[in-house]
Structure 1
Amino acid sequence: MCSKRPPAEERRTQLLDAADAVFAEYGVTAPLDMIVERAQVGRATLYRQFPDRRAITLALLERSLNKTLAAAHALRDDEQAFFKLLEMVADRIAISAPMVDYWRAVDRGDEILANARQQLWHAFEEPMQRAVASGLCKHMLSQKDLGLVLGMLGGSLRGETAQQRKALARRALQIILEGIKA
């Protein structure tokens, strides 16, 4: 009896889940064999899906961005969407600190990262407009302002543990919201 291999998309998800966990625990420079071991797949499976470390980090960035875009869409009728998205991103920063740190170190002119920032802006822009229109937010932030806010949330990277980072992210978010909420 031959065991059927899972579909490529399922293996890709397994690998990304494993990479996310390994990078969160050991940093982005962790040996790729740790990802293979955590995903319980062969090394060839990893390299069929992701030819190198950058491909894995790009896929993780894309997945995180897609989650944010999906959340923005799901919250499209919620007046609190802007604040809920900020909270979601703050939590993600705290959980995936090494990934965030990695992307902070990438050249600001990197085309892929610039595109991701643009997409992130679009995820936040409409919910922010609704928050301003409904009187929940003092005023619109510019794209650079939003980048600054997200950078401030990145201050949570100073925590040594996920729990400390989450507490710092929550406190940073609280301070930010006190400044922008009406």
Structure 2
Amino acid sequence: MTLLRSDAALRRDQILDAADAVFSERGITAPLDLVVTRAGVGRATLYRNFPDRAALVEALFERAIGVLESAAPAHDLFGLVEQVGLALVASPALADYWRALEPGHPAATGARERLAKLFRAPLAASQAREECRADLRPADLVLVAGMLGAALRGATPAKRRNLVRRALELLQDGLGPPRRGR
């Protein structure tokens, strides 16, 4: 990947910040002119960086997963699941976009693979400490992340965060190791 000049990188970040805000407020199908206006750039600058809406949304996802990857707790599975859930809440339009893609779409497949990879080390550490089910797989945790998308029904960001935390409380029992006598 070619390093962008600092001013070009700044404009790209401005566009991504604006798109994240506009899509969160108005949905993923919001007019791209709103993104251009919010970013304070010209339409040509938007399309030079992102040839279409899909490229823009995929760049938003790349940025979000990059943040998760850099902050992922290597040995705290439940902390990572919570971070993923809160990331979904922070960008509801992005979560809607990924759920709307056909399962075999290359972007959807890539997203699932990156999330599964992100879960591997914390899952292995939790299984070694017998803190979670021995039969749990990274793909199961990707499914759990999708289930946390139900938290997007909250009317405000705070309510959505509370729904994620409550869903995690309910899921933790199912993800944890079997209790004796069950």
Scaled to the shorter chain, the TM-score interval is 0.7 to 0.9
- Counterpart residue identity of residue 50, structure 2: F
2:151, 2:101 → 1: CA distance? 19
- Counterpart residue identity of residue 103, structure 1: W
Deviations 1:32-79 (A, max 9, x none): 11111211222221111111111111111111122222223xx33xx3
The answer as to whether partners of 2:89 and 2:160 remain within 8 angstroms in 1 is: yes
Query: Is 1:94 the equivalent of 2:92?
Result: no
1:136 to 106, 131, 134: 131
- Counterpart residue identity of residue 110, structure 2: N
2:6, 2:30 → 1: CA distance? 26
Aligned length: 173
Residue matched to 2:52: 52
- Counterpart residue identity of residue 19, structure 1: A
2:144, 2:21 → 1: CA distance? 26
Q: After the TM superposition, which residues 159-170 of structure 1 pair with which residues of structure 2 at under 5 Å, given as runs?
A: 159-170=154-165
Query: Is 1:151 the equivalent of 2:124?
Result: no
Among all aligned residue pairs of Structure 1 and Structure 2, give the percentage whose two residues are the same amino acid. Answer: 46
CA RMSD of aligned residues (A): 1.8
TM-score when normalising by structure 2: 0.87
Q: Gaps spanning 5+ residues in structure 1: where?
A: none
Q: 1:89 Cα shift?
A: 0.7
Q: 1:6 Cα shift?
A: 5.7
- Counterpart residue identity of residue 149, structure 2: G
- Counterpart residue identity of residue 144, structure 2: V
Residue matched to 1:28: 28
Higher mean Cα deviation, 8-17 or 143-152?
143-152
Deviations 1:98-120 (A, max 9, x none): 11011101000001220221111
- Counterpart residue identity of residue 27, structure 1: G
Q: 1:91 Cα shift?
A: 0.6
Residue matched to 1:176: 171
- Counterpart residue identity of residue 157, structure 1: L
Q: After the TM superposition, which residues 100-115 of structure 1 pair with which residues of structure 2 at under 5 Å, given as runs?
A: 100-115=95-110
Q: After the TM superposition, which residues 112-131 of structure 1 pair with which residues of structure 2 at under 5 Å, given as runs?
A: 112-131=107-126
The answer as to whether partners of 1:121 and 1:146 remain within 8 angstroms in 2 is: yes
TM-score when normalising by structure 1: 0.87
The answer as to whether partners of 1:69 and 1:120 remain within 8 angstroms in 2 is: no
Residue matched to 2:67: 67
1:10, 1:66 → 2: CA distance? 17
2:96, 2:127 → 1: CA distance? 31
